[in-house]
Chain A
Amino acid sequence: MSQPFTQRHIGTDADAQSRMLAILGYESIDALVNAAVPESIQVDQFRTVGDSTLPPAATEREAIAELRELAGRNTVKRSMIGLGYYDTVTPAVIKRNVFENPSWYTAYTPYQPEISQGRLEALINFQTMVADLTGLSTANASMLDEATAVVEGMLLTRRASKSKSTRFLVDVDALPQTKALLANRAAALGIDLVEVDLASTAADATAELGEYFGLFVQYPGASGRVWNPAGVIAAAQAQGALAVVAADLLALTLITSPGELGADVAVGTSQRFGVPMGFGGPHAGYMAVRKGLERQLPGRLVGVSVDAAGHPAYRLSLQVREQHIRRDKATSNICTAQVLLAVMAGMYAVYHGPEGLKTIARQVHERAGQLVVALLAAGVDVVTATFFDTVRVSVPGRAAEVVRAAAVSGINLHLVDADTIGIAVDETTTLADLALVVGAFGGRDAFGLVDFSMVEAGLPPELHRTSEFLTHPVFNTHRSETSMMRYLKRLADYDYALDRGMIPLGSCTMKLNAATEMEAVSWPEFGGLHPFAPRADVEGYLELIRQLETWLTDVTGYDSVSLQPNAGSQGELAGLLAIRGFHLSTGDTQRTVCLIPSSAHGTNAASAVLAGMKVVVVACDELGNVDLADLRAKISEHAESLAALMITYPSTHGVYEHEVGAICRAVHDAGGQVYVDGANLNALLGFARYGDFGGDVSHLNLHKTFCIPHGGGGPGVGPVAAKAHLAPFLPGHPMAQGDEHYLLGAGDAPALAGGVGGTVVHTGGPVSAAPYGSPSILPISWAYVRMMGAEGLHEATGAAVLAANYVAKRLEAHYPVLYAGDNGLVAHECILDLRPLTETTGVSVDDVAKRLVDYGFHAPTMSFPVSGTLMIEPTESEDLAEIDRFVEAMIAIKAEADAVAAGRWPADDNPLCNAPHTAQSVIEGEWTHAYDRETAVYPVRSLIRGKYWPPVRRIDNAYGDRNLVCACPPPEAFES
């Protein structure tokens, strides 16, 4: 018998736990957690223990066998559907060394740039690639997907345009999922979408379209048509509007770039650069802007700065644009990127180089030309005259029949309407595939007869690309697999990920991403499916999704779950849009006020604004809890217009607020809905449920609580879970294979459900490009829940809360713990107040964080949610030895700070303010510091045999923001 997975996942064993409990003075973990979680919200107040519908825990082997069975129910056909998703060849060297390498996928967002230079370089490669191909000056570090990128493009043009118009023009030949997303998002913000056939609009006729603040063009169009939008772009700009162009990156190697056509913003996806379709995601969307719009970019932006020694170093730029600083005035609610996938796409370009990409594009284009010739030879009417890789054909009345025939031959085509079919070619399409396509139309296999030398290129000559791209050496060096493997290894070695040690980032839940959980992500049955493949091909996926939805309702106390949001921020937005939809359905159109405590994560406020709500801030008391008196005052002030309260539980301060039940009741009594932010669910699973104590809707972070790795800053999955009355307003999708979702349905909405285990149709608008968001990483969370079972999840929560309280207890004599809840206990994380230390010694939060690097640790979360503090979340996965190593490092650093205060080291020359120390900094030149080299780099003897060496010294943030450079610097910059 193999060891239960729970014991592999949880780092502390029974012996370690009893030693930790002894220090805290509790008999058992349950006694500890029950003392910390207010009794009134504990799960046994609401359901009998043992009522869980989760299946009993499976072993790792059993879980894999079940996943194999589910995978076997998917059918991977040759996808020629197109619509923004194409089959692609993931270079094996990238699959093995990035996609399946924990050094890349277990890293966190690069907030500590000194220990993140590898993925920051990989991201700046991605940004350079996107900027070069789109012909624009600055690209960001990726977007969630193409459709959300178009929405962000629309919002950007509204911010940047001088026009006061509320109208945004959308070309008729845009992707259908993009149109659906635009419609959903525009409705909440009072933007009027106007669909126009821009390709047929003469440039001088656009004046008749009236005033508008922006327009959107798909290039090539959804139909495959390639046309020159320069005229409509110029006309838009002439009347003060901005132009957004969604462009296919592979096509851009052959056709004129959006930047050269005058576009202000280019968006799209990099999926076909080596990232499997995965039934819709995750992939890296992209956005690039012309000069002057950099500060309007949403999301992450990597830039170049310098370190303390003057060497170039990468870091995240212009962070104050983002929601964690600007809150309701942020450029977007997006917190994350799709880093792992952006790294893969960027590396695809590094490996192939500009010539390799052009060759792939020419082959794709040539194959599309061959398809056209063969179809014409078979007497089929090809509608699209100018194309890159996709064409539409007209078969009056026969489209469905032909699509069915192709499916029988193992090929999925795009059924546009009863008379029209779309066919897309990609880098994997063979001549044999084309023969099968022609056969499906009833044409003979004409390939023996067709003279392919007659194939005319389908691209308009005026749009042939002449400008260079990817000229930087990084895209022209790594052609051999050996060179590529070593480049990937070198970058991975620059970084600190979970494979090196603990990442105690508060509010981020950096727990184990178990190897077994990751297995299925690489399987072709999960990777090779198009998001709009027919239902019969994806039965395994739909069953996996149904099971995961069911399990998530069980552990949260809600009735229905949508897995569509592909990030926590999108889950928030989806939840708030569900509340909006509910209020509109009951005629309460005036309910638009969203109450948000001052302690909330900035994303809450940014999401509320995007859901068309007005943010009203509720004060917190000195203990960090919601100020009930202020809440009641704000509720009565806005009683008529109250839409919702957003509250995080446990709070962003890492404590179980005692009054959460009363808070929820006060909101409900005034007719408002309660949104519980699930960011901190890891402190609650198995002990209390949001739905039980008053939540109406929540988003969960599968990338925190349910083991999806952070990927260095994405992907994430942010399902939204709701009570039955909100379930119909959860995000649906016009192209979903099935629109019915699990509904627990017992209780308050029998009319909707018809009893336990019913179904509900999610009728809200989509928030992601694909119907199920990022399905290819759902097997990770599925496997976690399947292998833990209800009991294992309960144990994991207990171990996480134990670890956090143990750290707080051991460090409280050295650093004050800022907030605590019932019985002086914290939840799954604790905030250390460094402000007294800074006051007495001059040593800052930054100094301590960077000094931890010298000790071999990733710093905790800095200055969130309170400036001048560190927030520590050890999670359940760390063992006691690693937790103790961290505690002892923190104690040693405190002693170093005291030495500075005592005058043993000068305030401006000590191991703290000079941290982190690179190898170069202690080897080169004469050592003139007030402390010795051993203190600098070997403060603990155990580091001598195994040390993580940061590649750069402390990075100058101000320099990078004042001198914005967001593309690869020349290699000479690194010579020193």
Chain B
Amino acid sequence: MAEQSELQYTAEHEWVLVDGATATVGITAYAADKLGDVVFVELPAVGSDVASGTVVGEIESTKSVGELFAPITGTVTETNDAVVDSPELVNGDPFGAGWLIKVSFAELPPLLSYAEYSALIGE
């Protein structure tokens, strides 16, 4: 689990961990808390191409549904099967075991820094 201060963020409350040409994506603790108890996660297929800013999946709680946006343009290289089987991981460990997808990319769009994201959610 990476330090939150080392991650990059989006305004859609997702975090991005960049490692070379691959980005790991999840939703932030703030988003998980707002959603409530997550009961279902739908992720894109491995190998599918995703475009930055488009909806590629869904995160459902007992009371609402959140959309998963692709933070970058690229190809999905891996999805977290553990989170599909145990959606509660999104609530329990959003920055770690609750990661959602890995995307290989050519170009990194501008993302929010930890400080910028913290300011966005008023913390």
Q: Which residues does A use to contact B, with CB under 8 Å?
A: 295, 319-320, 325-326, 863, 957-958, 961-962
Contact = CB atoms under 8 A, between A and B. Distances in A.
B19 to A, nearest CB: 31
Contacts of B87: 962
Contacts of A319: 62-63
B65 A961 contact: no
B88 A962 contact: yes
Contact of A961 (B39, B64, B86): B39
Contacts of B40: 295, 961-962
Contacts of A320: 60-65
A863 B87 CA distance: 24
Interface in B30-49: 37-40
Interface in B65-119: 65, 86-88
A863 B62 CA distance: 13
9 contacts: A295-B40, A320-B64, A325-B64, A957-B62, A958-B37, A958-B38, A958-B62, A961-B40, A962-B88
- How would you classify the secondary structure of chain A's contact residues: helix, strand, loop or mixed? helix
Interface size class of B (residues with CB under 8 A): 10 to 19
A264 B13 CA distance: 37
Nearest to A863: B63
List the 5 closest A-B pairs by CB distance, nearest first.
A958-B37, A961-B39, A957-B62, A320-B65, A962-B39
A962 B62 CA distance: 9
Nearest to B42: A295
A958 B62 CA distance: 6
A306 to B, nearest CB: 14
Contacts of B37: 957-958
A958 B60 contact: no
Nearest to B86: A962
B85 to A, nearest CB: 10
Contacts of A325: 63-65
Given A320-B62, A957-B37, A962-B87, 12 more contacts: A295-B40, A319-B62, A320-B60, A320-B61, A325-B65, A958-B38, A958-B39, A958-B88, A961-B60, A961-B62, A962-B40, A962-B88
Interface in B3-26: none
Contacts of A958: 37-39, 61-62, 88
Of A295, A326, A961, most B-chain CB atoms within 10 Å: A961
Contacts of B65: 320, 325-326
Interface of B: 37-40, 60-65, 86-88
Contacts of A326: 65
A863 B63 CA distance: 10
Residue of B38, B63, B64, B87 with most chain A CB atoms under a 10 A cut-off: B63
* Interface hub of B60, B61, B86, B88 (most chain A Cβ within 10 A): B60
A291 to B, nearest CB: 15
A962 B88 CA distance: 9
B34 to A, nearest CB: 10
A704 to B, nearest CB: 24
Most chain B beta-carbon contacts within 10 A, residue among A295, A325, A957, A962: A962
In this complex, the member of A320, A325, A957 whose beta carbon has the largest number of chain B beta carbons within 10 angstroms is A320
Nearest to B39: A961
A326 B88 CA distance: 21
B47 to A, nearest CB: 15
Contacts of A957: 37, 62-63
A863 B36 CA distance: 14
B87 to A, nearest CB: 6
A327 B21 CA distance: 38
A391 B65 CA distance: 49
Nearest to B60: A320
Nearest to B67: A329
A145 B110 CA distance: 53
A680 to B, nearest CB: 24
Contacts of B86: 962
A958 B65 CA distance: 13
A500 B64 CA distance: 32
A156 to B, nearest CB: 17
A320 B88 CA distance: 16
Contacts of B61: 320, 958
A295 B65 CA distance: 13
B123 to A, nearest CB: 16
B44 to A, nearest CB: 15
Contacts of B62: 319-320, 957-958, 961
A114 to B, nearest CB: 15
A479 B88 CA distance: 44
A259 B15 CA distance: 43
Contacts of A961: 39-40, 60, 62
A273 B22 CA distance: 59
A320 B61 CA distance: 8
A971 B91 CA distance: 33
Nearest to B87: A962
A962 B92 CA distance: 15
Nearest to A957: B62
A320 B37 CA distance: 12
A319 B36 CA distance: 14
A319 B64 CA distance: 9
A295 B39 CA distance: 12
A962 B39 CA distance: 5
A863 B103 CA distance: 37
Contacts of A962: 39-40, 86-88
A863 B64 CA distance: 12
A325 B59 CA distance: 13
A962 B41 CA distance: 10
A958 B32 CA distance: 14
Contacts of B38: 958
A325 B38 CA distance: 15
A962 B64 CA distance: 14
Contacts of B39: 958, 961-962
A424 B39 CA distance: 47
A863 B65 CA distance: 15
A325 B65 CA distance: 8
A957 B63 CA distance: 9
B24 to A, nearest CB: 24
B35 to A, nearest CB: 10
Nearest to B38: A958
A326 B63 CA distance: 10
A957 B39 CA distance: 9
A961 B87 CA distance: 10
A486 B49 CA distance: 60
A325 B61 CA distance: 11
A320 B65 CA distance: 7
A886 to B, nearest CB: 25
Nearest to A963: B39
A325 B67 CA distance: 13
Contacts of A863: 63
A325 B60 CA distance: 11
A667 to B, nearest CB: 30
Nearest to B62: A957
A493 B40 CA distance: 34
A229 B41 CA distance: 35
A850 to B, nearest CB: 15
B116 to A, nearest CB: 27
A962 B85 CA distance: 9
A341 B95 CA distance: 48
A598 to B, nearest CB: 15
A955 to B, nearest CB: 11
Contacts of B88: 958, 962
A229 to B, nearest CB: 31
A961 B64 CA distance: 12
